[in-house]
Structure 1
Amino acid sequence: MDPRWPHDTVDVLGVRVSRVDTARFRSFVAEAVKERSKLTVTFANPDYVLRAQKDPGLRDLMNGFDLNLPDGWGVVLAAKIFGRPVPGRMANDDLTDDLFGQPAEEGWRVFLFGNAPGVAEAAAANVRAWYPGLDVAGTQHGHWADGQGRIPAETAERLVAEINDAAPDILHVGLGTPLQQRFVAEYRDRLTAPVVITCGAYFEHLAERRDYYPAWVLKLRVGFLYRLAREPRRLWRRYTVELGAYLARVLYHRLRHGRAPAD
Protein backbone atom coordinates (compact mmCIF):
# COMPACT_ATOMS: atom_id res chain seq x y z
CA MET A 1 0.00 0.00 0.00
CA ASP A 2 1.29 3.44 -0.95
CA PRO A 3 1.95 5.29 2.34
CA ARG A 4 0.56 8.45 0.77
CA TRP A 5 -2.92 6.89 0.74
CA PRO A 6 -3.29 5.08 4.09
CA HIS A 7 -6.49 3.07 4.52
CA ASP A 8 -7.76 -0.30 5.69
CA THR A 9 -8.39 -3.16 3.28
CA VAL A 10 -10.10 -6.55 3.33
CA ASP A 11 -8.77 -9.59 1.50
CA VAL A 12 -11.51 -10.95 -0.77
CA LEU A 13 -10.13 -14.22 -2.16
CA GLY A 14 -6.72 -12.71 -2.74
CA VAL A 15 -7.81 -9.25 -3.90
CA ARG A 16 -7.23 -6.38 -1.47
CA VAL A 17 -10.43 -4.33 -1.40
CA SER A 18 -10.30 -0.81 0.03
CA ARG A 19 -12.45 0.00 3.06
CA VAL A 20 -13.01 3.70 2.38
CA ASP A 21 -16.14 5.80 2.15
CA THR A 22 -17.00 8.44 -0.43
CA ALA A 23 -15.69 11.30 1.71
CA ARG A 24 -12.30 9.59 2.07
CA PHE A 25 -12.20 8.90 -1.66
CA ARG A 26 -12.90 12.56 -2.46
CA SER A 27 -10.22 13.71 -0.04
CA PHE A 28 -7.64 11.40 -1.63
CA VAL A 29 -8.50 12.70 -5.09
CA ALA A 30 -8.29 16.32 -3.92
CA GLU A 31 -4.93 15.76 -2.28
CA ALA A 32 -3.56 13.96 -5.33
CA VAL A 33 -4.57 16.79 -7.66
CA LYS A 34 -3.30 19.48 -5.32
CA GLU A 35 0.04 17.80 -4.62
CA ARG A 36 0.39 16.29 -8.12
CA SER A 37 0.86 12.89 -6.49
CA LYS A 38 -0.14 9.79 -8.41
CA LEU A 39 -3.34 8.07 -7.27
CA THR A 40 -4.53 5.03 -9.22
CA VAL A 41 -8.02 3.64 -8.69
CA THR A 42 -9.61 0.42 -9.92
CA PHE A 43 -12.66 -1.62 -8.94
CA ALA A 44 -13.26 -5.19 -7.74
CA ASN A 45 -16.44 -7.05 -8.64
CA PRO A 46 -17.16 -10.80 -8.28
CA ASP A 47 -16.23 -11.48 -11.91
CA TYR A 48 -12.84 -9.80 -11.54
CA VAL A 49 -12.18 -11.55 -8.21
CA LEU A 50 -12.88 -14.96 -9.74
CA ARG A 51 -10.66 -14.19 -12.72
CA ALA A 52 -7.91 -12.96 -10.41
CA GLN A 53 -8.02 -16.27 -8.51
CA LYS A 54 -7.22 -18.09 -11.75
CA ASP A 55 -4.82 -15.45 -13.05
CA PRO A 56 -2.11 -14.35 -10.57
CA GLY A 57 -1.02 -11.68 -13.05
CA LEU A 58 -4.45 -10.01 -12.91
CA ARG A 59 -4.49 -10.33 -9.12
CA ASP A 60 -1.12 -8.60 -8.89
CA LEU A 61 -2.28 -5.88 -11.30
CA MET A 62 -5.38 -5.16 -9.21
CA ASN A 63 -3.47 -5.24 -5.93
CA GLY A 64 -0.94 -2.80 -7.38
CA PHE A 65 -3.51 0.02 -7.51
CA ASP A 66 -3.64 2.54 -4.68
CA LEU A 67 -7.39 2.08 -4.26
CA ASN A 68 -9.40 -1.02 -5.17
CA LEU A 69 -13.02 -0.04 -4.60
CA PRO A 70 -15.90 -2.52 -4.10
CA ASP A 71 -17.89 -2.71 -7.33
CA GLY A 72 -20.91 -4.91 -6.78
CA TRP A 73 -22.91 -6.14 -3.83
CA GLY A 74 -21.18 -9.52 -4.10
CA VAL A 75 -17.93 -7.94 -2.94
CA VAL A 76 -19.73 -5.93 -0.25
CA LEU A 77 -21.35 -9.15 0.99
CA ALA A 78 -18.03 -11.03 0.97
CA ALA A 79 -16.36 -8.32 3.05
CA LYS A 80 -19.20 -8.58 5.58
CA ILE A 81 -18.97 -12.39 5.67
CA PHE A 82 -15.23 -12.11 6.30
CA GLY A 83 -15.86 -9.76 9.23
CA ARG A 84 -14.28 -6.70 7.60
CA PRO A 85 -17.25 -4.81 6.12
CA VAL A 86 -16.79 -1.98 3.66
CA PRO A 87 -18.87 1.22 3.92
CA GLY A 88 -20.87 0.27 0.82
CA ARG A 89 -20.86 -0.33 -2.91
CA MET A 90 -18.66 2.17 -4.76
CA ALA A 91 -18.97 1.37 -8.46
CA ASN A 92 -18.36 4.07 -11.08
CA ASP A 93 -22.12 4.51 -11.45
CA ASP A 94 -22.41 5.23 -7.71
CA LEU A 95 -19.68 7.87 -7.88
CA THR A 96 -20.80 9.97 -10.86
CA ASP A 97 -21.40 13.08 -8.74
CA ASP A 98 -17.95 12.66 -7.21
CA LEU A 99 -16.11 11.78 -10.42
CA PHE A 100 -17.51 14.78 -12.33
CA GLY A 101 -19.25 17.03 -9.82
CA GLN A 102 -16.13 17.53 -7.71
CA PRO A 103 -13.94 18.40 -10.73
CA ALA A 104 -16.59 20.85 -11.95
CA GLU A 105 -16.59 22.54 -8.54
CA GLU A 106 -12.80 22.61 -8.27
CA GLY A 107 -11.96 23.51 -11.86
CA TRP A 108 -10.14 20.26 -12.59
CA ARG A 109 -9.74 18.87 -16.09
CA VAL A 110 -10.89 15.33 -16.97
CA PHE A 111 -10.07 13.08 -19.93
CA LEU A 112 -12.28 10.19 -21.09
CA PHE A 113 -10.29 7.39 -22.75
CA GLY A 114 -11.97 4.15 -23.76
CA ASN A 115 -15.05 2.28 -25.02
CA ALA A 116 -16.16 2.14 -28.67
CA PRO A 117 -15.62 5.04 -31.09
CA GLY A 118 -18.08 7.85 -30.38
CA VAL A 119 -19.07 6.68 -26.90
CA ALA A 120 -16.61 8.82 -24.92
CA GLU A 121 -17.67 11.88 -26.92
CA ALA A 122 -21.35 11.24 -26.16
CA ALA A 123 -20.53 10.68 -22.49
CA ALA A 124 -18.53 13.92 -22.42
CA ALA A 125 -21.45 15.87 -23.88
CA ASN A 126 -23.74 14.55 -21.15
CA VAL A 127 -21.44 15.19 -18.19
CA ARG A 128 -20.79 18.73 -19.45
CA ALA A 129 -24.55 19.30 -19.43
CA TRP A 130 -25.06 17.72 -16.00
CA TYR A 131 -22.14 19.52 -14.37
CA PRO A 132 -21.90 23.10 -15.67
CA GLY A 133 -18.35 24.33 -15.81
CA LEU A 134 -16.84 20.86 -16.11
CA ASP A 135 -13.67 21.00 -18.21
CA VAL A 136 -13.40 17.88 -20.39
CA ALA A 137 -9.83 18.13 -21.63
CA GLY A 138 -10.29 15.46 -24.28
CA THR A 139 -11.76 12.13 -25.35
CA GLN A 140 -10.44 9.11 -27.22
CA HIS A 141 -11.92 5.72 -27.97
CA GLY A 142 -10.37 2.52 -26.64
CA HIS A 143 -10.46 0.10 -29.58
CA TRP A 144 -6.71 -0.26 -30.06
CA ALA A 145 -5.92 -3.80 -28.91
CA ASP A 146 -4.30 -6.29 -31.27
CA GLY A 147 -5.12 -9.98 -31.68
CA GLN A 148 -3.27 -10.79 -28.45
CA GLY A 149 -5.44 -8.39 -26.47
CA ARG A 150 -2.69 -5.81 -26.00
CA ILE A 151 -2.24 -2.28 -27.25
CA PRO A 152 0.87 -2.18 -29.49
CA ALA A 153 3.69 -0.22 -27.87
CA GLU A 154 3.87 2.43 -30.59
CA THR A 155 0.11 3.00 -30.37
CA ALA A 156 0.20 3.20 -26.59
CA GLU A 157 3.05 5.72 -26.75
CA ARG A 158 0.99 7.89 -29.10
CA LEU A 159 -2.07 7.66 -26.86
CA VAL A 160 -0.05 8.57 -23.76
CA ALA A 161 1.40 11.59 -25.57
CA GLU A 162 -2.09 12.68 -26.68
CA ILE A 163 -3.45 12.39 -23.14
CA ASN A 164 -0.47 14.22 -21.64
CA ASP A 165 -0.79 17.02 -24.20
CA ALA A 166 -4.38 17.57 -23.00
CA ALA A 167 -3.04 17.96 -19.42
CA PRO A 168 -5.95 16.42 -17.50
CA ASP A 169 -6.04 16.24 -13.72
CA ILE A 170 -8.14 13.07 -13.82
CA LEU A 171 -7.91 10.37 -16.49
CA HIS A 172 -10.71 7.80 -16.86
CA VAL A 173 -9.59 4.61 -18.62
CA GLY A 174 -12.33 2.34 -19.97
CA LEU A 175 -10.59 -0.50 -21.81
CA GLY A 176 -12.04 -3.53 -20.06
CA THR A 177 -10.26 -5.86 -17.64
CA PRO A 178 -7.37 -6.73 -17.68
CA LEU A 179 -6.36 -4.38 -20.52
CA GLN A 180 -7.21 -1.22 -18.58
CA GLN A 181 -5.30 -2.33 -15.47
CA ARG A 182 -2.33 -3.36 -17.59
CA PHE A 183 -2.30 -0.02 -19.43
CA VAL A 184 -2.36 1.94 -16.17
CA ALA A 185 0.35 -0.23 -14.59
CA GLU A 186 2.65 0.00 -17.61
CA TYR A 187 2.25 3.74 -18.17
CA ARG A 188 1.56 4.95 -14.65
CA ASP A 189 4.83 6.86 -14.44
CA ARG A 190 4.53 8.23 -17.98
CA LEU A 191 1.02 9.60 -17.58
CA THR A 192 1.12 13.10 -16.12
CA ALA A 193 -2.48 13.07 -14.83
CA PRO A 194 -2.22 12.73 -11.03
CA VAL A 195 -5.44 10.67 -10.78
CA VAL A 196 -6.04 7.67 -13.04
CA ILE A 197 -9.29 5.70 -12.68
CA THR A 198 -10.33 2.55 -14.56
CA CYS A 199 -13.97 2.42 -15.56
CA GLY A 200 -14.82 -0.50 -17.88
CA ALA A 201 -17.99 0.24 -19.85
CA TYR A 202 -18.94 3.24 -17.70
CA PHE A 203 -18.91 5.68 -20.63
CA GLU A 204 -21.70 3.65 -22.22
CA HIS A 205 -23.83 4.29 -19.14
CA LEU A 206 -22.99 8.00 -19.17
CA ALA A 207 -23.70 8.27 -22.89
CA GLU A 208 -27.14 6.72 -22.47
CA ARG A 209 -28.54 8.66 -19.55
CA ARG A 210 -27.76 10.18 -16.15
CA ASP A 211 -29.09 7.28 -14.09
CA TYR A 212 -28.16 4.04 -15.79
CA TYR A 213 -29.77 2.14 -12.93
CA PRO A 214 -33.33 3.27 -11.97
CA ALA A 215 -33.73 4.30 -8.35
CA TRP A 216 -35.78 1.22 -7.48
CA VAL A 217 -33.00 -1.05 -8.78
CA LEU A 218 -30.44 0.63 -6.53
CA LYS A 219 -32.79 0.57 -3.55
CA LEU A 220 -33.44 -3.16 -3.90
CA ARG A 221 -29.78 -3.83 -4.70
CA VAL A 222 -30.62 -5.84 -7.81
CA GLY A 223 -28.40 -4.10 -10.31
CA PHE A 224 -27.08 -7.43 -11.56
CA LEU A 225 -30.63 -8.62 -12.37
CA TYR A 226 -31.36 -5.36 -14.19
CA ARG A 227 -28.23 -5.71 -16.31
CA LEU A 228 -29.00 -9.38 -16.96
CA ALA A 229 -32.46 -8.44 -18.24
CA ARG A 230 -30.92 -5.81 -20.55
CA GLU A 231 -28.14 -8.02 -21.91
CA PRO A 232 -29.11 -11.67 -21.32
CA ARG A 233 -26.90 -13.21 -24.01
CA ARG A 234 -23.76 -11.47 -22.85
CA LEU A 235 -24.29 -11.64 -19.10
CA TRP A 236 -26.32 -14.78 -18.29
CA ARG A 237 -23.28 -16.89 -17.48
CA ARG A 238 -21.62 -14.19 -15.35
CA TYR A 239 -24.73 -13.69 -13.20
CA THR A 240 -25.70 -17.36 -12.84
CA VAL A 241 -22.89 -19.89 -13.06
CA GLU A 242 -19.99 -17.56 -12.24
CA LEU A 243 -21.80 -15.66 -9.46
CA GLY A 244 -22.81 -18.95 -7.87
CA ALA A 245 -19.22 -20.18 -8.03
CA TYR A 246 -18.02 -16.93 -6.48
CA LEU A 247 -20.43 -17.13 -3.54
CA ALA A 248 -19.53 -20.79 -2.98
CA ARG A 249 -15.84 -19.89 -2.79
CA VAL A 250 -16.53 -17.02 -0.40
CA LEU A 251 -18.49 -19.28 1.97
CA TYR A 252 -15.91 -22.06 1.72
CA HIS A 253 -13.11 -19.62 2.48
CA ARG A 254 -15.00 -18.27 5.50
CA LEU A 255 -15.66 -21.76 6.87
CA ARG A 256 -12.06 -22.83 6.37
CA HIS A 257 -10.20 -19.68 7.42
CA GLY A 258 -12.65 -17.80 9.63
CA ARG A 259 -12.82 -14.02 9.82
CA ALA A 260 -10.26 -11.94 7.94
CA PRO A 261 -7.46 -10.56 10.12
CA ALA A 262 -7.19 -6.82 10.70
CA ASP A 263 -4.64 -4.84 8.68
Structure 2
Amino acid sequence: MWDHETVDVLGVRVSRVDASTLRRFITAAVTERRKLTVTFANPDYVRKASKDAALRDLMNGFDLNLADGWGVVLASKIFGRPVPGRMANDDLTDDLFGLPADEGWGVYLFGNAPGIAEAAAANLREWFPGLDVVGTEHGHCADATGEIPPADAERLVAQINEAKPAILHVGLGTPLQQRFVADHRDRLDVPVIITCGAYLEHLAERRDYYPPWVLKLRVGFLYRLAREPRRLWRRYTIELCSYILTVLTHRLRHGRQPA
Protein backbone atom coordinates (compact mmCIF):
# COMPACT_ATOMS: atom_id res chain seq x y z
CA MET A 1 0.00 0.00 0.00
CA TRP A 2 2.87 2.36 0.79
CA ASP A 3 5.27 1.70 -2.06
CA HIS A 4 8.89 2.49 -1.23
CA GLU A 5 12.35 0.93 -1.38
CA THR A 6 13.88 -0.96 1.54
CA VAL A 7 17.22 -2.41 2.59
CA ASP A 8 17.52 -5.75 4.37
CA VAL A 9 19.44 -5.21 7.62
CA LEU A 10 19.90 -8.68 9.15
CA GLY A 11 16.39 -9.66 8.14
CA VAL A 12 14.63 -6.40 9.02
CA ARG A 13 13.30 -4.45 6.05
CA VAL A 14 14.44 -0.88 6.77
CA SER A 15 12.66 1.82 4.78
CA ARG A 16 14.72 3.98 2.44
CA VAL A 17 12.62 7.12 2.86
CA ASP A 18 13.35 10.67 3.94
CA ALA A 19 11.36 13.11 6.06
CA SER A 20 9.53 14.62 3.07
CA THR A 21 8.32 11.17 2.00
CA LEU A 22 7.18 10.44 5.55
CA ARG A 23 5.20 13.70 5.61
CA ARG A 24 3.62 12.80 2.26
CA PHE A 25 2.64 9.34 3.51
CA ILE A 26 1.19 10.74 6.74
CA THR A 27 -0.81 13.35 4.84
CA ALA A 28 -2.20 10.73 2.47
CA ALA A 29 -3.06 8.39 5.35
CA VAL A 30 -4.97 11.07 7.26
CA THR A 31 -6.78 12.69 4.34
CA GLU A 32 -7.65 9.39 2.63
CA ARG A 33 -8.27 7.47 5.90
CA ARG A 34 -5.70 4.82 4.96
CA LYS A 35 -3.89 2.98 7.72
CA LEU A 36 -0.17 3.74 8.08
CA THR A 37 1.89 2.05 10.81
CA VAL A 38 5.41 3.25 11.55
CA THR A 39 8.09 1.75 13.77
CA PHE A 40 11.82 2.28 14.19
CA ALA A 41 14.78 -0.05 13.73
CA ASN A 42 17.78 0.68 15.92
CA PRO A 43 20.85 -1.57 16.26
CA ASP A 44 19.52 -3.15 19.46
CA TYR A 45 16.17 -4.08 17.90
CA VAL A 46 17.82 -5.31 14.68
CA ARG A 47 20.30 -7.45 16.61
CA LYS A 48 17.50 -9.05 18.62
CA ALA A 49 15.29 -9.51 15.55
CA SER A 50 18.11 -11.29 13.71
CA LYS A 51 17.89 -14.02 16.37
CA ASP A 52 14.13 -13.90 17.00
CA ALA A 53 11.87 -14.73 14.05
CA ALA A 54 8.74 -13.59 15.90
CA LEU A 55 10.21 -10.13 16.58
CA ARG A 56 11.52 -9.94 13.01
CA ASP A 57 8.09 -10.74 11.57
CA LEU A 58 6.49 -8.27 13.95
CA MET A 59 8.74 -5.42 12.81
CA ASN A 60 8.40 -6.35 9.15
CA GLY A 61 4.63 -6.23 9.53
CA PHE A 62 4.77 -2.43 9.84
CA ASP A 63 4.33 -0.26 6.78
CA LEU A 64 7.50 1.69 7.56
CA ASN A 65 10.63 0.69 9.50
CA LEU A 66 12.64 3.88 9.88
CA ALA A 67 16.39 3.89 10.59
CA ASP A 68 16.76 4.85 14.25
CA GLY A 69 20.47 5.17 14.92
CA TRP A 70 23.67 5.63 12.95
CA GLY A 71 24.42 1.92 13.36
CA VAL A 72 21.51 1.10 11.06
CA VAL A 73 22.44 3.91 8.66
CA LEU A 74 26.00 2.52 8.50
CA ALA A 75 24.74 -1.03 7.95
CA SER A 76 22.61 0.12 5.01
CA LYS A 77 25.75 1.62 3.41
CA ILE A 78 27.76 -1.54 4.06
CA PHE A 79 25.04 -3.61 2.41
CA GLY A 80 25.00 -1.34 -0.65
CA ARG A 81 21.52 0.20 -0.29
CA PRO A 82 21.99 3.29 1.88
CA VAL A 83 19.06 4.99 3.56
CA PRO A 84 18.83 8.80 3.20
CA GLY A 85 19.84 9.31 6.84
CA ARG A 86 18.93 8.80 10.47
CA MET A 87 15.16 8.96 11.04
CA ALA A 88 14.70 8.61 14.81
CA ASN A 89 11.68 10.11 16.59
CA ASP A 90 13.87 12.89 17.98
CA ASP A 91 14.88 13.88 14.43
CA LEU A 92 11.23 14.15 13.36
CA THR A 93 9.61 16.29 16.07
CA ASP A 94 8.80 19.15 13.68
CA ASP A 95 7.33 16.69 11.18
CA LEU A 96 5.37 14.58 13.66
CA PHE A 97 3.83 17.53 15.52
CA GLY A 98 4.34 20.60 13.35
CA LEU A 99 2.41 19.00 10.49
CA PRO A 100 -0.69 18.11 12.56
CA ALA A 101 -0.56 21.54 14.23
CA ASP A 102 -0.66 23.18 10.80
CA GLU A 103 -3.36 20.86 9.47
CA GLY A 104 -5.57 20.75 12.57
CA TRP A 105 -5.16 17.01 13.16
CA GLY A 106 -5.54 15.55 16.63
CA VAL A 107 -2.73 13.53 18.21
CA TYR A 108 -2.86 11.05 21.09
CA LEU A 109 0.11 10.26 23.35
CA PHE A 110 0.12 6.79 24.91
CA GLY A 111 3.07 5.45 26.86
CA ASN A 112 5.90 5.83 29.35
CA ALA A 113 5.52 6.36 33.11
CA PRO A 114 2.51 8.09 34.70
CA GLY A 115 2.65 11.84 34.17
CA ILE A 116 5.11 11.72 31.27
CA ALA A 117 2.57 11.89 28.44
CA GLU A 118 0.81 14.81 30.13
CA ALA A 119 4.11 16.70 30.56
CA ALA A 120 5.03 15.99 26.94
CA ALA A 121 1.60 17.25 25.82
CA ALA A 122 2.05 20.50 27.75
CA ASN A 123 5.41 21.13 26.11
CA LEU A 124 4.15 20.23 22.65
CA ARG A 125 1.24 22.66 22.93
CA GLU A 126 3.74 25.39 23.83
CA TRP A 127 6.17 24.52 21.02
CA PHE A 128 3.48 24.03 18.37
CA PRO A 129 0.67 26.55 18.93
CA GLY A 130 -2.64 25.15 17.81
CA LEU A 131 -1.61 21.51 18.24
CA ASP A 132 -4.63 19.48 19.36
CA VAL A 133 -3.51 16.78 21.82
CA VAL A 134 -6.82 14.94 22.09
CA GLY A 135 -5.71 12.49 24.78
CA THR A 136 -2.92 11.08 26.92
CA GLU A 137 -2.45 7.80 28.76
CA HIS A 138 0.51 6.32 30.62
CA GLY A 139 2.06 3.06 29.45
CA HIS A 140 2.38 1.18 32.74
CA CYS A 141 -0.35 -1.29 31.84
CA ALA A 142 1.46 -4.62 31.44
CA ASP A 143 0.96 -7.36 34.01
CA ALA A 144 3.55 -9.66 35.59
CA THR A 145 3.88 -11.60 32.33
CA GLY A 146 4.88 -8.47 30.46
CA GLU A 147 1.64 -8.40 28.46
CA ILE A 148 -1.34 -6.03 28.53
CA PRO A 149 -4.36 -7.88 30.00
CA PRO A 150 -7.21 -8.23 27.46
CA ALA A 151 -9.61 -6.13 29.54
CA ASP A 152 -7.10 -3.28 29.75
CA ALA A 153 -6.37 -3.53 26.03
CA GLU A 154 -10.11 -3.27 25.31
CA ARG A 155 -10.34 -0.20 27.52
CA LEU A 156 -7.36 1.44 25.85
CA VAL A 157 -8.67 0.81 22.34
CA ALA A 158 -12.10 2.23 23.26
CA GLN A 159 -10.50 5.24 24.98
CA ILE A 160 -8.31 6.04 21.99
CA ASN A 161 -11.14 5.59 19.49
CA GLU A 162 -13.39 7.87 21.53
CA ALA A 163 -10.76 10.64 21.34
CA LYS A 164 -10.67 10.33 17.51
CA PRO A 165 -6.98 11.18 16.91
CA ALA A 166 -5.49 11.32 13.45
CA ILE A 167 -2.10 10.21 14.81
CA LEU A 168 -1.41 7.88 17.73
CA HIS A 169 2.03 7.67 19.38
CA VAL A 170 2.63 4.42 21.30
CA GLY A 171 5.59 4.32 23.70
CA LEU A 172 5.61 0.97 25.46
CA GLY A 173 9.07 -0.31 24.60
CA THR A 174 9.94 -3.06 22.14
CA PRO A 175 8.38 -5.54 21.51
CA LEU A 176 5.30 -4.65 23.59
CA GLN A 177 4.52 -1.52 21.58
CA GLN A 178 4.80 -3.38 18.28
CA ARG A 179 2.58 -6.19 19.58
CA PHE A 180 -0.04 -3.70 20.75
CA VAL A 181 -0.14 -2.09 17.31
CA ALA A 182 -0.16 -5.42 15.46
CA ASP A 183 -2.90 -6.86 17.67
CA HIS A 184 -5.19 -3.84 17.52
CA ARG A 185 -4.37 -1.89 14.36
CA ASP A 186 -7.58 -2.97 12.62
CA ARG A 187 -9.70 -2.03 15.65
CA LEU A 188 -8.00 1.30 16.25
CA ASP A 189 -9.88 3.95 14.27
CA VAL A 190 -6.68 5.95 13.77
CA PRO A 191 -5.09 6.52 10.34
CA VAL A 192 -1.48 6.86 11.55
CA ILE A 193 0.04 4.81 14.38
CA ILE A 194 3.68 5.42 15.36
CA THR A 195 5.72 3.56 17.97
CA CYS A 196 7.97 5.84 20.00
CA GLY A 197 9.75 4.00 22.83
CA ALA A 198 11.04 6.54 25.37
CA TYR A 199 10.43 9.50 23.04
CA LEU A 200 7.69 10.97 25.25
CA GLU A 201 10.23 11.17 28.08
CA HIS A 202 12.44 13.26 25.81
CA LEU A 203 9.52 15.54 24.90
CA ALA A 204 8.60 15.91 28.57
CA GLU A 205 12.10 17.26 29.21
CA ARG A 206 12.90 19.53 26.28
CA ARG A 207 12.38 19.84 22.54
CA ASP A 208 15.99 19.26 21.49
CA TYR A 209 16.82 16.21 23.60
CA TYR A 210 20.17 15.77 21.85
CA PRO A 211 22.37 18.91 21.87
CA PRO A 212 23.45 20.04 18.37
CA TRP A 213 27.08 18.98 18.91
CA VAL A 214 25.93 15.44 19.75
CA LEU A 215 23.99 15.19 16.49
CA LYS A 216 26.83 16.74 14.50
CA LEU A 217 29.36 14.24 15.83
CA ARG A 218 26.82 11.38 15.61
CA VAL A 219 27.45 10.28 19.19
CA GLY A 220 23.87 10.12 20.43
CA PHE A 221 24.50 6.67 21.87
CA LEU A 222 27.38 8.01 24.00
CA TYR A 223 25.21 10.89 25.20
CA ARG A 224 22.46 8.49 26.29
CA LEU A 225 25.02 6.16 27.87
CA ALA A 226 26.41 9.04 29.94
CA ARG A 227 22.89 9.91 31.11
CA GLU A 228 21.77 6.35 31.91
CA PRO A 229 24.91 4.24 32.39
CA ARG A 230 23.36 1.54 34.58
CA ARG A 231 20.51 0.85 32.16
CA LEU A 232 22.33 1.24 28.86
CA TRP A 233 25.95 0.23 29.40
CA ARG A 234 25.51 -3.29 28.06
CA ARG A 235 23.47 -2.18 25.02
CA TYR A 236 26.07 0.37 23.96
CA THR A 237 29.17 -1.71 24.64
CA ILE A 238 28.90 -5.48 24.38
CA GLU A 239 25.70 -5.61 22.34
CA LEU A 240 26.72 -2.80 19.97
CA CYS A 241 30.05 -4.50 19.26
CA SER A 242 28.17 -7.76 18.65
CA TYR A 243 25.86 -5.98 16.21
CA ILE A 244 28.73 -4.42 14.24
CA LEU A 245 30.55 -7.75 14.05
CA THR A 246 27.36 -9.47 12.84
CA VAL A 247 26.85 -6.82 10.14
CA LEU A 248 30.42 -7.15 8.87
CA THR A 249 30.25 -10.96 8.90
CA HIS A 250 26.96 -10.89 6.99
CA ARG A 251 28.46 -8.55 4.40
CA LEU A 252 31.50 -10.84 3.89
CA ARG A 253 29.32 -13.92 3.51
CA HIS A 254 26.54 -12.47 1.33
CA GLY A 255 28.11 -9.47 -0.42
CA ARG A 256 26.32 -6.28 -1.36
CA GLN A 257 22.60 -6.19 -1.99
CA PRO A 258 21.36 -5.33 -5.50
CA ALA A 259 21.12 -1.59 -6.03
1:209-233 alpha-carbon deviations (Å, 9 max, x no partner): 1110000000000000000011111
Q: Give structure 1 regions of 4+ aligned residues with deviation exceeding 3 angstroms.
A: none
Match of 1:61 in 2: 58
Match of 1:258 in 2: 255
Q: Select 2:137's aligned residue among 119, 135, 140.
A: 140
Give the number of aligned pairs.
259
Alignment partners' CA distance in 1, 2:54 and 2:79: 24
Task: Give the TM-score taking structure 1 as reference length.
Answer: 0.98
Match of 1:19 in 2: 16
CA shift, 1:261, in A, is 2.7
Alignment partners' CA distance in 1, 2:126 and 2:119: 11
Structure 2 gaps, min length 5: none
Match of 2:167 in 1: 170
Alignment partners' CA distance in 2, 1:204 and 1:237: 21
Task: Supply the AA of the counterpart residue of 1:106.
Answer: E
Task: Give the TM-score taking structure 2 as reference length.
Answer: 0.99
Identify which range, 215-224 or 253-262, moves more after superposition.
253-262
Alignment partners' CA distance in 2, 1:249 and 1:193: 37
Match of 2:198 in 1: 201
Structure 1 gaps, min length 5: none
Alignment partners' CA distance in 2, 1:55 and 1:82: 21
Task: Supply the AA of the counterpart residue of 2:250.
Answer: H
Alignment partners' CA distance in 1, 2:9 and 2:103: 34
The within-5 A match list for 1:180-199 is: 180-199=177-196
Match of 1:39 in 2: 36
CA shift, 1:148, in A, is 1.1
Matched position secondary structure for 2:140: coil
Identity of aligned residues (%): 78
Task: Supply the AA of the counterpart residue of 1:133.
Answer: G
Q: Select 2:228's aligned residue among 220, 226, 231.
A: 231
Matched position secondary structure for 2:90: helix
1:246 aligns with 2:243: yes
1:76-133 alpha-carbon deviations (Å, 9 max, x no partner): 0000000000000000000000000000001000000000000000000000000000
Q: Select 2:76's aligned residue among 73, 76, 79.
A: 79
1:219-257 alpha-carbon deviations (Å, 9 max, x no partner): 000000000011111111000000000000000000010
Alignment partners' CA distance in 1, 2:77 and 2:84: 10
1:154-177 alpha-carbon deviations (Å, 9 max, x no partner): 100000000000000000000000
Task: Supply the AA of the counterpart residue of 1:243.
Answer: L
Task: Supply the AA of the counterpart residue of 2:163.
Answer: A
* Alignment RMSD (CA, Å): 0.5
